[in-house]
Structure formats: structure tokens, C-alpha cells
Structure 1
């Protein structure tokens, strides 16, 4: 037991060390920038996939409701307007084709940014001669991720409907206690779905070989942090004067804060996953279309002019 606690503490400490060394705030800013432009397209695609079963208006209303629980009602309403404005018009065939192509490109861009950040943190890089192939594969995988998110949204909405039925039953039978059961159920569902999403991203997007058993551990940790952070941000947004301070741009600022925070949590989870993997597998190997990136430090003695090159490995203290 003591050894397990010591190992957990060592991995956690190493995760924070490497997380700071990898300049995560820069990566989070990049991901956040692309996400702001990609999110409307991602939501449109997922809404249409889930809307095929539940109806597009019902699904869009549920998505806006969920966003409102995180970033506030006003920001969610503004996001709804963005989604409606970004929707593809049926005016002309050419316009529809261009609109769909633009939407697909925008929706996959954020996943390409996620892939680049994971590769950098896990010290792998696509081979130059296969760069175009990786670019194509990356876009296809990113599109698959978007479609998968639509499926997961469909599952989530189905569970929400089931929980609603259970809630009505419990409310009739046990009155106020039903609220606690439904709250716990929503937290569990949110955590499970978030875990699946993070696990898929950590396993599929990077150009590295990593075992599922290690991915699941990192995904669970990330999902827990994400769900906890979601409730913390909800409280913060309900009482924070950002909307009043920035006026008309306040809603956009809240969205940026939410996206940026989510990106930081995602990257911390990725760092934890790679540290945990190396602690159990010794190192993360690149896949067949990638190579390992080696970092080197160059020290120059200004008095003698002597140059010393040192190879720097992540996780040396583990």
C-alpha cells in the first residue's frame, strides 16, 4: 500500500514537472484559438447526427441548455445564434457544397491542433516523407472523431431521457430525494462519456504507440478533473463580473475562458497519461509513420568557446 501511494505521488509530481516544462499555456492558447472557430461546425455536425433521432430543434435546445449550465444562459444564447448563423444555407448547390466543405475543414482543424500538441508533449513527429499522408489521415481521423462525438451526444441524450423518466418516478415516490439521485446520475454519465472521449483522443490522434490500459487511466483522471472543473466554472461564471466588465463582448470572453480552461485540463491529462505510460512501459514509441523527437541543450562557455551538447530526456527522474 505504501509503495502504491509513493508511486502515485511520484507520478503526480513528475506530471506537474513535465507539464510546466512543456509550456502548456501556449498549446492551450493555440487549441483555444482553433476551437473557437471550429466549435460551431463541430456542434452543427453533432446536432444533425443526434437530430436524426430526436429532432434537430430538440437536440439543439439540449445542447444550448448544457452549455448554459457551464458558461451561463446569456453566453449559451449567443452561442446558439452563432450556430444558427453558421448553419449551411440551402440557397444554391454550389453554396451548399462550399459551405459543407468549409464546415468539415473547420470541424477537423481543432483535432489537428490537438494532435500536434499531443505529438509535441509525447515527443513524436510524423516523418517528413509521409507528411502529406499523415495530414490526410489526420483529417479523416478528425472527421471520425466529430462523427463519434455526435454518436456520444446521441447516447448522452438517450440517457438523459431515461434519467428524466426515473426522476419523475422517484419524485412521485420519494419527493425531494429524487434530486440527489438524478444529480449523481448526471455526474456519473458526464464522467463516463468524457472518459470515452478523452480515451479515444489520447489513443487515436497521437503518432505514438500507447496501450489502452494506460490510456484509460489517464482518461479517467482527465474526465474527473473536467467534470469537477465544469461545476467550479459554473459557480464562477454565475458570480463573476466579466460579462459586465467587457460589455457586449462579455459572453465571448466567458466562452474563451471555458475553452482555454478545458484545453489546459486536456493537456494536463495528456501529460499524466504519458508519464504514467512511461512509468509502466519505460518509454512511448512512435508509430510506423512517425519518428522520436530528441531534445538537446547546447551550452557555450563564453571564456573558452567550448560547446557542450547534452541530450535531454523527459522523465529522467522516474
Structure 2
């Protein structure tokens, strides 16, 4: 299989799917989804570890992925969270609102992925589609929560190994540790991308078809993280917006992340077609051409 040809066709597919529109939508919805997502993530991972350890691990991962300014915003959101209510009515309303808010950004992401896969929900089954989308989006949040817990386990297991390398090999040990951290970061992001490509679109897709695009996307994300991090660190973008500068930087990172996810989906789409796999929408969805012909 010619991966260079796949990459070229992926760019064509990507730019024909309105990536800027969907990436902007995803970044916008994240503003409202982030507090609820953080509560769910901390609750899931906190069931196995101490809250302080979970918060520190989450902030460390966000710092590695998006930089200290974005992590600082998340930290303030966590510190300012006052719970979901005291009375049972307030708790019920709070839980429902939290679940709807947490899944909004993934619902927007699903729209972008569906556009790339050329599928669309059947207008006659909108309610079923809505409920399914919310459950799948909630499943994504829960999966990321478990992934955070697994990351904590891995970090705990590697802590002794890191200390041993640093003490025994000095500068070489530092290089090895850096390589391990980058590899783990790519691995974690690959799994997250694979979950998105497998779970969110309204079509049947095999696990074997998502891994190539997920790994490719994770590598691009890691490379772009250093490039954009260098650019943002040496530009005045944050200071131009004053007090909102940190939020703007976070939105830039989310916008870029969404671009990478959508390009990875385009790569996976072309990869599947080259492999001879057919696009098979779920029962509640149709191919875009079928919708247009009705």
C-alpha cells in the first residue's frame, strides 16, 4: 500500500470536508463542556486514586499536551467547581445538565467525522440518533477517564525506573526518560484518536482500520505540539487579548487538535477505500448521496 498516495488523497478529502467550520465548532463547544468533562474525569479516576494525585496527573498531562497556560485554566475551573447542588432536585438537574454539557463537544466532533465519512443520520429517526449520540459521547468521556487512571498506574510504575536511570546514567538517562515520555504520550493520544474514530461516526468500522490513521494522527499531533508551542511561546497572541489570553491559547490548541483529528479521519477514510473496505452506515444513518437523492 502506497502511503504517500494515501497522504495526498487525504489532504484532498480533508479540505473538501469543511474542516475549519467543524474545528471552530468543536473549540466553541469545549468552552461549555470543559467543566462537566473535568468533573466526570476526576470522579472516574478519583475512584481508584486520591483526588490530589488525580488532579496533579491531569494537570501534568494537559501541560505536556497544551502547555502551562491552558493547564492553568483547567486548574482554576477545578478549584472553582462548587458541585452539582445540595437538594435532591438540584442534584438531579445538575447531573442531567452536566451530562448534556459534557457530551456537547463530542456531538460536534461527531458531525465533523460524519461529514468526512459521508454519512448522515436518518431524519426519520432523529430522537434515536440523539439518544445514541449522547450515550456514545458519554462513553468517550468515561473511556478517557479510565485512560487517565491507567496513565496514573503507568506513571507510578515508571517512577522508580526514571529515578534509577537519572542516578545511574545522568544525561543519557535524561534522554531515555524523555524518549519514554514522548512514546507514552504518542501511545495515549493514539488510543484516544482510535476511540474517536471507532465510536463516534455513524458507521460500522473495524478496529484494524482505525489504528493506522490514529497512529499517524498522534505523530502529527506530537510534532505540531512542539511547533505550535514554540510559536505561541514566542508570539504575543496571548497578551493581545489581555485577561482572556490564556483562554484564547487554549482555544487555539483545541482548534489545532480538532484539525488533526479530522485529518486523521480523512487518512483513515482513504486508507479504508484503498484496502477495499466499504462504508457501511448504521441502521439509523444513511450515506450522504442517499439523503440527497430522496
TM-score with structure 2 setting the length: 0.92
Distance between the aligned counterparts of 1:41 and 1:75, measured in 2?
17
Match of 2:94 in 1: 99
Distance between the aligned counterparts of 2:291 and 2:92, measured in 1?
47
Aligned length in residues: 293
Superposition deviation, residue 99 in structure 1:
1.9
Residues 69, 192 of structure 1: alpha-carbon distance in 2 compared, 3 angstrom cutoff: closer
- Pair 1:189 & 2:154 matched: no
Q: Would you say the 8 A contact 2:66–2:225 is kept in 1?
A: no
Distance between the aligned counterparts of 1:52 and 1:260, measured in 2?
31
Distance between the aligned counterparts of 1:278 and 1:34, measured in 2?
31
Residue 123 of structure 1, aligned match among 118, 128, 145: 118
Q: Give the structure with the higher percent helix.
A: 2
Residue 288 of structure 2, aligned match among 286, 293, 311: 293
SS of 1:291 mapped into structure 2: strand
- Pair 1:175 & 2:176 matched: no
Match of 1:211 in 2: 206
Superposition deviation, residue 13 in structure 1:
1.1
Q: Relative contact order (C-alpha < 8 Å, sep 6+): which is higher?
A: 2
Distance between the aligned counterparts of 2:31 and 2:103, measured in 1?
12
SS of 1:269 mapped into structure 2: helix
Match of 2:232 in 1: 237
TM-score with structure 1 setting the length: 0.86
Distance between the aligned counterparts of 2:100 and 2:61, measured in 1?
25
Residues 87, 142 of structure 1: alpha-carbon distance in 2 compared, 3 angstrom cutoff: farther
Any unmatched runs of 5+ in structure 2? Answer: none
Superposition deviation, residue 84 in structure 1:
2.9
**How do 1:1-318 residues align onto structure 2 when only pairs under 5 Å count?**
4=1, 7-281=2-276, 283-294=278-289
| Bigger radius of gyration among the two | 1
Superposition deviation, residue 11 in structure 1:
1.3
Deviations 1:231-268 (A, max 9, x none): 32332333222222221111011011001000000000
SS of 2:47 mapped into structure 1: helix
Any unmatched runs of 5+ in structure 1? Answer: 298-310, 312-318
Q: Would you say the 8 A contact 1:72–1:238 is kept in 2?
A: no
Q: Would you say the 8 A contact 2:66–2:253 is kept in 1?
A: yes
